């Protein structure tokens, strides 16, 4: 009896220790080890490129920030074009799995050629002219959404054609001096989750995983409460991904590595956004984020950089929070990794995880999506944005909490998505941009162009016409140009600077502090802004006009406090072009 009791006690303790290892205690322990692990350093010759390498600077006691090779804080402003996303083509609603509509072969976009647009697709094709238009608005970056279904259409077979198409867009951006964030995009997991049983497929905006990696276990596909994420098949497919059913997560990691292998020496690529708007499936917060999502991010970073955080585990099956991942031989130690906080945070504007350190790799960026009053709880309760009772802290709540989350994780902060319907620009867009200025974070605006939907920077094409259309869009929306084509500091040695832009008057002011010998502060002024530029205090300025009418102000500090101002003047918006 005593022996049996002894065995039972031993088994019970071993069981508890094992369970502790794969749950929160293990996750916390590994995170603390990661936190104490010295960051890896990239060795060897630094590949030179058109743009400065970006990294994340970690000031003592301060919020990490994206920096260039001179150590200056860099603000990325950009938009999100959806032309490379494998969206479902709605031309034949009875067919749930049509082939990609827009050509993948880069030759179809050579020169100034752009394939025909169609209202059956949610967005127009992405062409060279689009990138030039972005640059003309003063954007210095773009977030380029990609689809796993096009990277790895068959299991283990990676598409060189799609990679070539991505490289083509990266090349266009390089020509314009713009950074590209390669975004592994998904919405509602995949367009292969299946159509409702009545055959009326409406999978518009569904995208992400290839058919072979979409395991729905027979759950029916139907969007409840008009939300594509509230779909049993989508929830089941997501759950299977997070538990690495059939090794599909391993394949995803291999896809990111495939991408990184191609761009690891490319300065135009700012980094990789690992997973867009992760949906927990049937899992609950904060266990989803802490035990599944962020450990998954760690594994991707392990695989691509070779930093080796986390414990070695078997792959091909469910991997616990303590697991790292094997080095896939890419050794990309120079790019940023953008970590999306997840869909539940987007709904709550509140942290849905405990902010555990993810990786010893230093170039991490917490990628928040700012959709206050659009997808937050108040909107689910059908409150008007201008009379909403939530978030209690207003627009500021999401930003101030995200800043703390980022600091805990050891990441810089970036608004990887925000946007709204144009009728709310004066309220929502204005407030979001004010918060971004206040918190000194860059942004990517959703979306560049959109067919039939209304969120694009441009008016949509005629959506009653379902024949192929030569035009990608209608006119550039004046309010969007006014608000998003802004005067802003592109780089500064002072990460605590403050700046304000008034989109109504074109007036701008910046206050900063510099030590003698600090590198210059660069301020971009779009063509629409015509006010006079003055610099006062301990700095001198030089203004270089661009061919498009924009101005680039280089402010060279001599040590001390300085300020830069652009006087108010009527804006000359381009409008329809």
Partner 1 sequence: MIEDRRTRDRAATRALVLGLLGLWFGIFAPFAIWTGARSLQRIRASDGTLGGATSAGVGLFAGAIGLAAVVINIAYWFLAS
Q: With binding defined as CB under 8 A, does residue 317 bind partner 1?
A: no
DSSP-derived secondary structure for 228-244? TTS-HHHHHHHHHHHTT
In terms of CB distance, is 210 or 281 closer to partner 1?
281
Determine the Cα–Cα distance for residues 228 and 238; give it in Å rounded to an integer. 13
Q: With binding defined as CB under 8 A, does residue 25 bind partner 1?
A: yes
Instruction: Point out which residues pair with 364 in neighbouring strands.
Output: 337
Q: With binding defined as CB under 8 A, does residue 381 bind partner 1?
A: no
214, 240 Cβ separation under 8 angstroms: no
Determine the Cα–Cα distance for residues 304 and 297; give it in Å rounded to an integer. 11
Kindly tell me the burial class for residue 20, based on how many C-beta atoms sit within 10 Å of its own C-beta (0-12, 13-18, 19 or more): middle
* Among 3, 5, 48, 112, interactor with partner 1 by CB under 8 A: 5
* Among 184, 356, 370, 539, interactor with partner 1 by CB under 8 A: 356
Q: With binding defined as CB under 8 A, does residue 24 bind partner 1?
A: yes
Phi/psi for 29 (5° steps) reads -60, -50
Angle between helices 160-175 and 248-263 (to 10 degrees): 40
Minimum distance, C-beta of residue 275 to partner 1, in the bound complex (Å) = 23
Determine the Cα–Cα distance for residues 167 and 109; give it in Å rounded to an integer. 12
Number of residues that bind partner 1 (CB under 8 A): 27
In terms of CB distance, is 141 or 341 closer to partner 1?
341
Minimum distance, C-beta of residue 334 to partner 1, in the bound complex (Å) = 25
In terms of CB distance, is 408 or 543 closer to partner 1?
408
* Among 132, 313, 408, 573, interactor with partner 1 by CB under 8 A: 408
Q: With binding defined as CB under 8 A, does residue 3 bind partner 1?
A: no
Q: With binding defined as CB under 8 A, does residue 573 bind partner 1?
A: no
Minimum distance, C-beta of residue 551 to partner 1, in the bound complex (Å) = 38
Strand 73-74 relative to strand 488-492, pairing: antiparallel
Stretch that binds partner 1, among 12-20, 69-77, 341-349, 370-378 (CB under 8 A): 12-20
Determine the Cα–Cα distance for residues 528 and 526; give it in Å rounded to an integer. 5
Minimum distance, C-beta of residue 544 to partner 1, in the bound complex (Å) = 40
* Among 155, 384, 404, 515, interactor with partner 1 by CB under 8 A: 404
In terms of CB distance, is 342 or 410 closer to partner 1?
410
Determine the Cα–Cα distance for residues 507 and 568; give it in Å rounded to an integer. 4
Q: With binding defined as CB under 8 A, does residue 354 bind partner 1?
A: yes
Site string for partner 1, 444-483 (x = CB under 8 A): ----------------------------------------
Q: With binding defined as CB under 8 A, does residue 8 bind partner 1?
A: yes
| Residue 464 CA to its chain's centroid (Å) | 32
Site string for partner 1, 409-428 (x = CB under 8 A): -x------------------
Instruction: Point out which residues pair with 174 in neighbouring strands.
Output: none
* Among 23, 383, 434, 511, interactor with partner 1 by CB under 8 A: 23
Q: With binding defined as CB under 8 A, does residue 569 bind partner 1?
A: no
Stretch that binds partner 1, among 215-223, 261-269, 351-359, 437-445 (CB under 8 A): 351-359
Determine the Cα–Cα distance for residues 553 and 368; give it in Å rounded to an integer. 30
Kindly tell me the burial class for residue 377, based on how many C-beta atoms sit within 10 Å of its own C-beta (0-12, 13-18, 19 or more): middle
Please give the C-alpha separations between residue 227 and each of 40, 221, 367, 468, in angstroms, as whole numbers: 42, 12, 23, 29
* Among 405, 436, 450, 481, interactor with partner 1 by CB under 8 A: 405
286: left (phi over 0), alpha (psi -120 to 50) or beta: alpha
Which residues, including other chains, have CB under 8 Å from residue 20's CB and lie 6 or more apart? Answer: 26
Which residues, including other chains, have CB under 8 Å from residue 548's CB and lie 6 or more apart? Answer: 136, 527
Minimum distance, C-beta of residue 63 to partner 1, in the bound complex (Å) = 9
Stretch that binds partner 1, among 10-18, 96-104, 185-193, 370-378 (CB under 8 A): 10-18
In terms of CB distance, is 23 or 556 closer to partner 1?
23
In terms of CB distance, is 27 or 73 closer to partner 1?
27
Torsion of CA 209, 213, 217, 219, to 10 degrees: 10
Determine the Cα–Cα distance for residues 140 and 137; give it in Å rounded to an integer. 9
- The alpha carbon dihedral of 275, 276, 277, 280 has a sign of negative
Q: With binding defined as CB under 8 A, does residue 576 bind partner 1?
A: no
Region 244-303 residues binding partner 1, contact defined as CB under 8 A: 287, 291
* Among 78, 83, 306, 355, interactor with partner 1 by CB under 8 A: 355
Q: With binding defined as CB under 8 A, does residue 33 bind partner 1?
A: no
Site residues for partner 1 per CB under 8 A:
1, 5, 8-9, 12-13, 16, 19-20, 23-25, 27-29, 32, 35, 287, 291, 354-356, 404-405, 407-408, 410
């Amino acid at each position: 009896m005593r022996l049996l009791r002894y065995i039972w006690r031993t088994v019970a303790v071993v069981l508890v220790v094992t369970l502790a290892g794969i749950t929160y205690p293990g996750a916390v322990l590994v995170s603390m080890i990661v936190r104490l692990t010295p960051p890896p350093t990239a060795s060897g010759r630094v590949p030179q490129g058109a743009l400065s390498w970006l990294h994340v600077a970690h000031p003592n006691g301060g919020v990490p920030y994206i920096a260039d090779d001179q150590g200056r804080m860099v603000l990325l402003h950009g938009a999100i074009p959806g032309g490379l996303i494998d969206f479902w083509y709605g031309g034949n609603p009875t067919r749930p799995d049509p082939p990609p509509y827009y050509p993948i072969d880069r030759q179809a976009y050579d020169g100034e050629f752009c394939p025909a647009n169609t209202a059956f697709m949610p967005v127009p094709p992405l062409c060279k002219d689009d990138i030039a238009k972005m640059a003309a608005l003063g954007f210095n970056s773009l977030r380029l959404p990609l689809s796993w279904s096009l990277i790895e259409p068959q299991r283990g077979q990676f598409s060189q054609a799609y990679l070539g198409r991505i490289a083509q867009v990266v090349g266009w951006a390089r020509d314009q001096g713009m950074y590209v964030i390669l975004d592994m995009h998904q919405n509602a997991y995949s367009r292969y989750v299946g159509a409702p049983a009545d055959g009326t497929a409406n999978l518009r905006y569904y995208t992400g995983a290839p058919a072979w990696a979409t395991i729905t276990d027979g759950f029916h596909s139907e969007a409840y409460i008009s939300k594509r994420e509230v779909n049993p098949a989508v929830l089941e497919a997501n759950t299977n991904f997070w538990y690495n059913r059939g090794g599909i997560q391993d394949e995803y990691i291999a896809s990111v590595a495939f991408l990184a292998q191609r761009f690891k020496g490319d300065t135009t690529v700012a980094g990789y956004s690992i997973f867009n708007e992760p949906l927990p499936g049937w899992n609950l917060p904060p266990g989803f984020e802490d035990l599944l999502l962020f450990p998954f991010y760690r594994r991707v970073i392990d695989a691509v950089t070779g930093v080796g955080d986390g414990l070695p585990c078997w792959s091909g099956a469910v991997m616990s929070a303590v697991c790292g991942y094997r080095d896939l031989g890419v050794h990309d130690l120079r790019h940023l990794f953008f970590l999306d906080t997840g869909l539940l945070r987007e709904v709550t504007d509140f942290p849905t995880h405990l902010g555990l350190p993810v990786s010893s790799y230093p170039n991490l960026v917490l990628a928040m999506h700012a959709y206050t009053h659009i997808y937050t709880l108040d909107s689910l309760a059908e409150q008007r944005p201008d009379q909403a009772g939530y978030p209690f802290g207003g627009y500021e709540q999401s930003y101030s909490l995200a800043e703390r989350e980022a600091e805990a994780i050891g990441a810089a902060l970036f608004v990887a998505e925000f946007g709204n319907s144009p009728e709310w620009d004066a309220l929502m867009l204005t407030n979001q941009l004010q918060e971004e200025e206040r918190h000194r974070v860059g942004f990517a605006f959703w979306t560049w162009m959109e067919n039939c939907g209304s969120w694009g920077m441009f008016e949509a094409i005629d959506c009653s016409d379902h024949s192929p259309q030569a035009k990608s869009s209608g006119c550039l929306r004046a309010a969007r140009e006014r608000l998003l084509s802004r005067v802003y500091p592109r780089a500064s040695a002072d990460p605590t600077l403050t700046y304000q832009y008034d989109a109504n008057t074109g007036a701008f002011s910046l206050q900063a502090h510099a030590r003698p010998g600090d590198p210059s502060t660069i301020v971009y002024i779009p063509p629409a802004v015509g006010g006079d530029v003055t610099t006062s205090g301990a700095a001198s300025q030089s203004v270089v006009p661009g061919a498009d009418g924009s101005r680039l102000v280089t402010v060279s500090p001599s040590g001390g406090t300085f300020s830069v101002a652009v006087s108010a003047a009527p804006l000359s918006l381009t409008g329809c072009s």
